Amino acid sequence: MTKRNRIFIGILLAYAFGVGLLMYRLLGDIDPRYRESAEESLVETAHLMAAAVEAASQDGVLRVDGLRPVFQSLYARRFKATIFGFEKTRVELRILVVDRAGRVVFDSLGRQEGADYSQWRDVRKALTGVYGARTSPDIEGDPKTSVMYVAAPIRVGNEIVGAVSAAKPVQSFGQFVAKARQQTLLVGVTSVIAVLLLALIVSVWLVRPVGVIVDYVAYVRAQRSFNVARLARRAVVSIRTAYDDMRDALAGRNYVADYVQTLTHEVKSPLSAIRGAAELLQEPMPHADRARFIANIMRETQRVQELVDRMMELTTLESRRSLAATAPVAMRPLIDELAASAEAAGAARGVRVEVMPGDDALVEGDAFLLRRAIANLLDNALEFSPQGGMVTVALVPERRTVDVKVRDRGPGIPEYAGDKVFEKFYSLARPHSRKKSTGLGLPFVKEAAQLHGGRVTLVNAADGGALATLSLPRMESPAG
């Protein structure tokens, strides 16, 4: 038997034992809980009837004649009440009234009047002022005819002159017990099937950590000398590697599925435009229209290419758990260089880029990623700036962080989009062109910030426009 099969069978046996024990306890506990609930309602009913008889027997003589027409009318009533999938159509409550000697003076069913009930547990205890209850079958030896009785004393003054016993057939709530057991078993079987499927999936990933342990044991055996520090380092590396592999395996399936779904959605529109233009080009048309459709194809092709390139960049970035190599990055020269490039890009619409004066600051990180992240923030600000507007860039060194603030004078962020701007493929229409971008620029900035131990925010400025803030951990200068 393979290691994987042993793990799989072990999981199933452990779970089956646990579920079996739980089901045994639950199924055995259902009937007592229903009986307790029924007994509680019978206690109140018995005391209610005892109070009614007491009110009619103030002279010490039990007067029960008024009960006969009440129960005759009650048993004649027909109704429909659907309870837990069962239909109740008649009253099954029974009432017995006994005198101080335990002799039945009233039976709602008219069967036991005159019988001596003084030795029945419920009546005997109630006549002494103690709570009494019992369950007895109507037909000796037939548990299906069992009836639950609860008695309450009848007091006139300080003297007990009789007792009322309220009763109900066990079968009336036994159908609910059977239904509850059936549903409990269904839940148990369903959970076993679900765990079976889960174990099939998880056991594949559990094999890898077990294999790591086996490899580590083999490594220990191969050592010629005992070195605690070396063995501890090897154990930490093995556990970290196994954890990373298992985490990547568990997250990879959903990650790929999410990307495929969103990429398909985003590519569908430009592909439809390309296909429509290509079909129209097969028909005779004026040269001007032909040139326009060819331009549409080129534009949509460029859009698809940009989407794929951006997505590959973001995917590569998301797959990195840490920065491979870092170096001190001076932020002021980097911002000046990027601002100059952005101003050239915005010149066509007359958008100016102004860098606010201030001190330089160092950041420990990847210069290429920081360059791309800040460039994305500047591109985003240019896209949402009005004709002839201005984008301001400020470097604000704080005590522990370095904040790069990029602000435009555009329409700002709509309220409904405030918590979505950093989601992949989410984009707002540009004010001047009404077109959307790939929706991958800001997610790239977010991933780059997190890799550097920082964060990025995008909010509406107090006096208009949007303000993006890239906050990074500050590195102390070599001078201290």
Residue 438 CA to residue 425 CA, distance in Å, equals 6
Q: Assess contact for 323 and 451: CB atoms under 8 A.
A: yes
Measure the CA–CA gap between 191 and 122, rounded to whole angstroms: 43
Domain ranges of the chain: 3-178, 226-319, 323-473
Q: What pLDDT, on the 0 to 100 scale, is given for residue 101?
A: 92
Mean of the pLDDT values across residues 229-244? 66
Identical topology for domains 3-178 and 323-473: no
Mean pLDDT on 160-168: 92
pTM of the model: 0.41
Give the model confidence (pLDDT) of 281-330 as tens digits: 888 888 887 888 788 788 778 767 766 666 666 566 655 666 767 788 89
pLDDT of residue 253: 47
DSSP, res 10? H
Q: What is the 3-state secondary structure (H, E, C) of 34-72?
A: HHHHHHHHHHHHHHHHHHHHHHHCCCCCCCCCCHHHHHH
Question: For 323-473, which CATH class?
Answer: alpha beta
Give the residue with greater pLDDT, 67 vs 82: 67
Q: What percent of the chain has pLDDT over 90?
A: 19
d(CA 423, CA 39): 58
Higher local confidence (pLDDT), 149 or 246: 149
Q: Which residue has the higher pLDDT, 188 or 52?
A: 52
For 285-319, the DSSP string reads --HHHHHHHHHHHHHHHHHHHHHHHHHHHHHHHHT
pLDDT digits over 373-411, tens only? 898 899 888 888 888 899 999 999 988 899 999 999 988
Q: What is the pLDDT of residue 435?
A: 74
Dmax over Cα atoms in the chain, in whole Å? 117
Residue 246: pLDDT over 80:
no
137-141, 181-185, 384-388, 407-411: least confidently modelled range: 181-185
Tokens of 168: 């109900």
Which span out of 195-204, 294-303, 468-477 was modeled with the highest average pLDDT?
468-477
CB 122 within 8 A of CB 151: yes
Instruction: Give domain 226-319's CATH number out of 3.40.430.10, 3.30.1370.60, 1.10.3720.10, 1.10.287.130.
Output: 1.10.287.130
CATH of domain 3-178: 3.30.450.20
Output the pLDDT for position 223. 65
Spatial distance between the Cα atoms of 114 and 202, rounded to a whole number of angstroms:
71
- pLDDT for 245: 61
Q: Encode pLDDT of 8-39 as tens digits.
A: 677 777 777 877 787 777 777 766 777 777 88
pLDDT classification of 478: cutoffs 50, 70, 90: low
- Rounded to an integer, the average pLDDT of 183-190 is 78
Residue 97 has pLDDT above 90, yes or no: yes
Answer for the pair 432, 386: CB distance below 8 angstroms, yes or no: yes
Q: Is the pLDDT of residue 346 over 50?
A: yes
> For 253-265, how does the pLDDT look when each residue is reduced to its tens digit (9 = 90+)?
444 555 555 556 5
Average pLDDT, the chain: 79
* pLDDT score of 432 more than 50: yes
